[in-house]
Amino acid sequence: MVLDDIFLVSTASLPPWLGWSSLTIIGLCVGSFLNVIIYRVPLMIAAADRLSSTETGGPQDIHRFNLWLPASHCPRCQQTVAWHDNIPLISWLLLQAKCRHCRQAISGRYPTVEAASLVLTLVAGYYFPPGVTLCGVLLFGWLLLALTVIDLDCGLLPDWLTYSLLWSGLLFNLHDRFVPLSSAVIGAVAGYTVLWLIVMSANHVTGKQCMGYGDLKLTAALGAWLGWQALPLLLLLASSLGVLMIVLLNLLAKKSLNTALPFGPALAFSASVLMVMNQLDNLSGW
């Protein structure tokens, strides 16, 4: 495709170390921004819910807290984090996982997300040449990483992220980038509808809410990226992974087999496996 050719021509003369250095910086910076999303989006949703359920306060209460404002700060002592204390991975190690001001521990989740983003970026850069496909794979992986951590932390799949994943999937497939556009559109509709029918049936049989609507929206978004043909295998893999986790928790942590687990991470992991398998098959066929 034309854009891929432009990417290849513009990067062909660059030394390999420059490409890998660029990917490393991008992966770490995106990981740092994903930490902001993971921490702030649930708080912004909670603030919006409080505002909608009470007559006190005003819109300005939400606008003061968003992805950009206030500046990064310690949630305990409220001190602003200086730029040299906000370097992905490095600052956490230099500060020995403690705030410079109050010396309270900094969660290991921050370097974990940054490291995961870095690994994801480098692995994608290894398998895919510079181009639109690589950008799509990276966006797909980054959004799923943020959704996974938020769901594990809060049991929440924010509309902001699931809708971003949905619309970006359709946009990338406008010219059949990953799957034909018709397959992507049907995948989005079928992903939501099929899972909705399953959930409604399960709710009726069990008499309780078995799954949140965020999982339905996430499945629709994954259908937009992977196409409707991937949905049966996606749901089979995700369900099998969910059952495996429940059994392991029962055996290792003595959790009940009725323990509720977020389904988003299982969907995200299964979708990532399918995306990689499909794209590697496409590359091997070139």
123 is a domain residue:
no
SS3 73: strand
Structural domain span for residue 153: 131-286
156 is a domain residue:
yes
- DSSP code of residue 84: G
Same domain, yes or no: 9 and 136? no
How many domains is the chain partitioned into structurally? 2
Same domain, yes or no: 154 and 212? yes
Same domain, yes or no: 164 and 263? yes
Same domain, yes or no: 195 and 277? yes
pLDDT in tens, the chain (286 residues): 655 655 555 565 667 778 889 999 999 999 999 999 999 999 888 888 777 666 444 444 445 678 888 888 888 888 888 888 889 999 999 998 998 888 889 899 999 999 999 999 999 999 888 888 999 999 999 999 999 999 999 999 999 999 999 999 999 999 899 999 999 999 999 999 998 998 888 777 877 777 788 999 999 999 999 999 999 999 999 999 988 888 887 777 666 656 668 899 999 999 999 998 888 777 665 4
Same domain, yes or no: 111 and 164? no
Same domain, yes or no: 166 and 106? no
Same domain, yes or no: 179 and 284? yes
84 is a domain residue:
yes
Same domain, yes or no: 13 and 142? no
Token pair listed for 120: 């994801």
Same domain, yes or no: 142 and 227? yes
Task: Supply the pTM of this predicted model.
Answer: 0.89
For the chain, how many residues are written?
286
Rounded Cα gap, residues 84 and 92, in angstroms? 10
Same domain, yes or no: 49 and 167? no
The CB-side HSE value for 203 (13 A sphere, CA atoms) comes to: 11
Same domain, yes or no: 250 and 136? yes
Interacting residues of 275 by C-beta distance below 8 A, sequence separation 6+: 137, 140, 178, 225, 226
Residues 160/213, Cβ–Cβ less than 8 Å: no
Rounded Cα gap, residues 61 and 51, in angstroms? 9
